[in-house]
Amino acid sequence: MSRSALVGNVTAMLEDAGFTVSDRCAIRPKSFDVAARRGDDLVLVKILGNIDAFNQETGQEMRRLGTYLQATPLVLGLRSRDENLKPDVVYFRHGVPVLSPDTAYNLFVENVPPLIYAAPGGLYVNIDGDLLADEREQRDWSLGQLANELGVSRRTVSKYEDGMNASIEVAMALEELFEAPLTSPVDVLEGAEDVHDADPMPDDPRADPDDAEVVTVLTRAGFRVHPTVRSPFKAVSQDEGGEDEVVLTGHSAFTKAAEKRARIMSSIGHVAHTRSVYVVDRAKRDAVEGTALVEREELAEMRDAEELREVIRERADRKEAV
């Protein structure tokens, strides 16, 4: 299957599941392909045939964007170098959960979350420790008795009851012993990192020197600016003045490529519930769809976030002249 067809299939699946999906980020380099929202759940989705192409730099940027936009970074892929991705298993690459399209379909369309996740050493499941302890005590079994049944140490059983995860083989043995389900699903959207010892959140990259002036002005106006290197926008700017507003920010000469980026920013902003602004040297109109255009000199004269917020709102909401 071509990557274009795979992206189309995944997009259709998300729409069938009730997600609003952004336009595809058809630019390079790119950390994610589409943003998608269903209710309070926002996901940033990277779509790959071979997940080995997902490198550390992209993973770090997706995790940072997930924090800034209150979104879940997610990779959907078909295979790794060694094998096809197994259905209903959550994998991880560089701290980002990875699913096969079938697993994503079961999760988002059928509302059946995965129970298994891959980690060094094999496949594992979440054991409901409280339920396990209740079942053991109802049978009046000691930790040692259950340990003997499983062929593990008493300390290991104690760790299972304290929340340590188990191999599939142990989980199956427990459920056979107690004739009851003792596993809990992997919460991909909210708790994936609870079952994965992810790397610490990576620091922001350095801003492009060409953007230093814009970053300085935005910072002076009261925004915390988070530079990006693999996104349609140059930065995610967060208002520190109490408005809790997030603005996707771009900056360049206003070329056809810049117009394309501004349109993608508009689409992502619509899905992510953010505003977007593109800083240019000269502008002949106020906005590109939902992305406000602001000239560099005009931005330099602004002294606070409220003034910039008002300009962005007015221009983004104003219909473009025909």
318 pLDDT band, cuts 50/70/90, is low
| Domain match, 175 and 234 both | no
Number of domains in the chain: 3
Q: What percent of the chain has pLDDT over 90?
A: 67
Domain of residue 144, CATH code: 1.10.260.40
Asked if the model's pLDDT at residue 48 lies above 90, the reply is yes
Domain boundary among 114, 135, 169: 114
| Domain match, 132 and 110 both | no
Which residues constitute the domain of residue 140? 123-184
Residue 304 contacts by C-beta under 8 Å, 6 or more apart in sequence? 221, 222, 241
Tell me: the pLDDT tens digits for 209-221?
A: 888 888 988 888 8
| Domain match, 152 and 79 both | no
Distances (CA, A) of 292 to 220, 251, 274, 313: 20, 12, 12, 8
For residue 48 the two structure tokens come to 């790959």
Domain of residue 233, CATH code: 3.40.91.30
| Domain match, 108 and 131 both | no
| Domain match, 87 and 26 both | yes
CA–CA gap between residue 138 and residue 18 (Å, rounded): 43
| Domain match, 36 and 104 both | yes
| Domain match, 147 and 170 both | yes
Task: Name the nearest CA neighbour of 195 among 123, 105, 102, 110.
Answer: 123
Helix boundaries (H) for 167-243? 168-178, 212-220
Residue at 199 is within a domain:
no
Residue 247: per-residue pLDDT: 94
Average pLDDT (132-161) is 93
Residue at 203 is within a domain:
no
CA–CA gap between residue 6 and residue 230 (Å, rounded): 21
| Domain match, 172 and 259 both | no
Q: Is the pTM of this model over 0.85?
A: yes
Residue 14 contacts by C-beta under 8 Å, 6 or more apart in sequence? 21, 34, 36, 45, 108
Tell me: the pLDDT tens digits for 80-109?
A: 988 999 999 999 999 899 999 999 999 999
- What one-letter code names the amino acid at 280? V
| Domain match, 233 and 254 both | yes
Tell me: the pLDDT tens digits for 248-261?
A: 999 999 999 999 99
Asked if the model's pLDDT at residue 225 lies above 60, the reply is yes
| Domain match, 129 and 175 both | yes
